[in-house]
Structure 1
Amino acid sequence: MFRLRPGNVKKIIRNRKGIQEAWVEVEGNEEKTINYTDLTGVLKTGDEVIVNTTALHLNLGTGGKNFVFLNSRYSSFDISDTGHIMKLRYTPYQIKVLSCEEQESPHRNSFKSFSSLNGLPVLMGELHSMLAPAAAVLKYKSPGARIVYIMTDGAALPIEFSDTVSALKAKQIITGSITTGHAFGGDLEAVNVYTALIAASEVFQADVAIVTMGPGNVGTDSEYGFSGMEQGEIINAVTILGGQPVYILRVSFADPRERHKGISHHSLKVLKDIAMTPAAVCLPETDDATFLYITRQLESAGIYNKHRVINRKGGIAAEALKSFGLRVKTMGRALEQDRIFFESAGASAVFTTELMDKRSAILAVETFSRVK
């Protein structure tokens, strides 16, 4: 279950808030190793460390990296004295955070007075690679929009692991980030997705929220055994709180696995059996044969009877990503290799901007009426 090996830090490759990458000599080889500074302190060249080599030894994909488990240079160190909520509970790495809804939080009153999301559009997707194209299109079409990213604990737990989130914040595409459950490191911490959605609306005053897990989703080629199942519950949560859920379909014809051909069986399962409330589901406009294939998949799964299915042009995703200088991949495939995947996210974002505009108009009328 656990593979630990001693290592020696040879060179620091990258330093970013909360995370470092270094060349570490382990078992006679120099290998790239991730270090989370809030968990194991700041690395220096020459440090003697203990490295968790489990995933790399198994030749895993996204998770196939070495991680610093212990830095022997530290006998003790502290990160923060605030907060009472523990994440990574009952593990050697349990950390204390100031959750945005807890009693000591300066945002506490936002939760006590909350009544509804008031139609806040919430765009959600199974894979972390959906975040960049969705956010880029939203910002490209609505430059003034306040976009808040919510990262669940379905995959990577430290938000610092995501180069995508770092880039989106650096380019001022997203206004802020919230980490839920045992995920940590966001601008705000939340106990669950419900309070994260409330924080997006009340604390960040979001015009739109995007919810995905971090990098490194899990699938087992079984009906229920994949981490994206959480999306059905998030659709329900958005509806319960009075928001408008928009679901990004996972679509690909580049994935060699039959179960992911066209619309992935993951998306169909979530929409058919897990989501108990309706969501907007956007199809990217494409050639007739492809469109027929994916619409038949939706018909066969009964999606048209349960959800609102819309068609929108998703090609703007490539234009938006280029305009912001964002390079993206999904499952190792670039946009040119799996265009429809990114266009599916783009189409969903295009429709979401329409919801944003309608909501803005309604709220403006309501505000005017109250003032009058």
Structure 2
Amino acid sequence: MMQWREGTVEQVVGRWPGAVEYAVRLADDAPDDTSVRALAYTALVGEPEVGDRVLLNASALLRGLGTGGLAFIVAAPDRLPGDPTTPRGHIVKARYTPQQQMFMAVDEQDSPHHEVMTGPLAAAGDLLGMPVVVADLHSALPAILAGIRLDRPEARVVYLMTDGGALPIAFSRNVATLTGAGWLAGTVTVGQAYGGDHEAVTLHSGLLAAKHVLEADIAVVIQGPGNVGTGTPWGYTGVAAGEALNAVGTLGGRGVAALRVSDADTRERHHGISHHSATAYGRICLVAADVPVPTTADEFDALVADQAHALARTAQGALTVRRVDPEGLDEALRAVPVTLSTMGRGLDEDHAAFLYSAAAGRHAARLLES
């Protein structure tokens, strides 16, 4: 059940498009009379000001969760935002929750892009061979972009955020920074996720919008921050990466499976190629896809290459291991305009995790030449 708290805004800690972080002093009758971090999504609750009374959902904070370990402002009851000045369309997301919202989806009838989405290419479901990189962790996004930009800095890259993790794209400061730096040409939020440059009802229509509305050269599909896992092979939201590759194959795109790899994770099931990648790409993906691995003489990379070839031999789909030149990838990763972090580990703590994502990006960029 939700754990409610009431508090008073003390100061603004930070802001980025769609979100403001505050320090909030809990009310005197709260179990802990202390200051907490609290996030407000401006499209939902407006922008509370210092001194405003706010109602908080403190459940994740009180449980000490990682990505979601902060309070969320549910309302500033004494300063409610006004109604939107323009119609939001007819597609409801976060459906049947108290904070459901209506959006203009790129694929609905009243959308200014409906004609494109019902045109001969989009309606037929044709991505025209567009490379699409798929990964399971949101932390892979900046590394994938680094790999793409190393060879094709001019490429138009569109990020599609699925709904396995955070639903509001505004939760991701990385997306805001990468967009501001010009590393992303646009964003599409699909399913129940919301807040992108465009909304789409399904991943399929989102991919078609990326190609035919945003004119993407390359698309990247990853769930938002805060994935859910249970330590079991199937109870993990990232297995949807396999379904994403199925969508890419169905629509005539070129699927690129970014491996989740680690040489630092102490859990055996994540050493080398994570069991999540093995499940998503080996069991769920039923179409052709490329699996990029960097070509090095490193003993760990040799292990991963062997694991990748074994995965390709037993996969339900037609996986092809592709060797990628790692030259320049480390330098590209160190030039990323955000802090690289995955499962609490940075670039030098878990270098392989980012190197393999960057290799997937570089391979996608080179597909543009073929």
Instruction: Name the TM-score class by shorter chain.
Output: over 0.9
1:341 aligns with 353
Equivalent residues in 2 for 1:85-164, closer than 5 Å: 85-113=91-119, 114=122, 115=124, 116-164=126-174
Per-residue CA deviations over 1:289-326 (Å, capped at 9, x if unaligned) read 21332234335445466311111134533322333543
Q: Is the 8 A contact 2:39 2:70 kept in 1?
A: yes
Structure 2 CA distance for partners of 1:106 and 1:82, relative to 1, 3 Å: same
Out of 320-329 and 256-265, give the one that drifted further. 320-329
In structure 2, the residue corresponding to 1:178 is in which secondary structure? strand
1:16 aligns with 16
Out of 111-120 and 233-242, give the one that drifted further. 111-120
Q: Which of the pair is proportionally richer in helix?
A: 1
1:48 aligns with 53
Structure 2 CA distance for partners of 1:78 and 1:303, relative to 1, 3 Å: farther
TM-superposed CA distance for 1:246, in Å, is 0.2
Distance in 2 between the 1:69 and 1:324 partners? 33
Per-residue CA deviations over 1:303-350 (Å, capped at 9, x if unaligned) read 466311111134533322333543211111111111111110111111
| Ranges in structure 2 where 5+ consecutive residues have no aligned partner | 27-31
Equivalent residues in 2 for 1:186-205, closer than 5 Å: 186-205=196-215
Per-residue CA deviations over 1:269-299 (Å, capped at 9, x if unaligned) read 1112101112100112333421332234335
- AA aligned to 1:351 is H
Distance in 2 between the 1:325 and 1:152 partners? 23
Structure 2 CA distance for partners of 1:349 and 1:8, relative to 1, 3 Å: same
Structure 2 CA distance for partners of 1:138 and 1:76, relative to 1, 3 Å: closer
Percent identical? 38
Among 342, 345, 364, the residue aligned to 1:352: 364
What is the alpha-carbon root mean square deviation over aligned residues?
1.6
Q: Is the 8 A contact 2:168 2:193 kept in 1?
A: yes
TM-superposed CA distance for 1:137, in Å, is 2.1
1:38 aligns with 43
Q: Is the 8 A contact 2:48 2:79 kept in 1?
A: no
Distance in 2 between the 1:192 and 1:61 partners? 28
TM-superposed CA distance for 1:218, in Å, is 1.2
1:368 aligns with none
TM-superposed CA distance for 1:351, in Å, is 1.1
Structure 2 CA distance for partners of 1:157 and 1:137, relative to 1, 3 Å: same
**What is the total number of aligned residue pairs between the two structures?**
358
Among 217, 225, 238, the residue aligned to 1:215: 225
In structure 2, the residue corresponding to 1:254 is in which secondary structure? coil
1:238 aligns with 248
1:226 aligns with 236
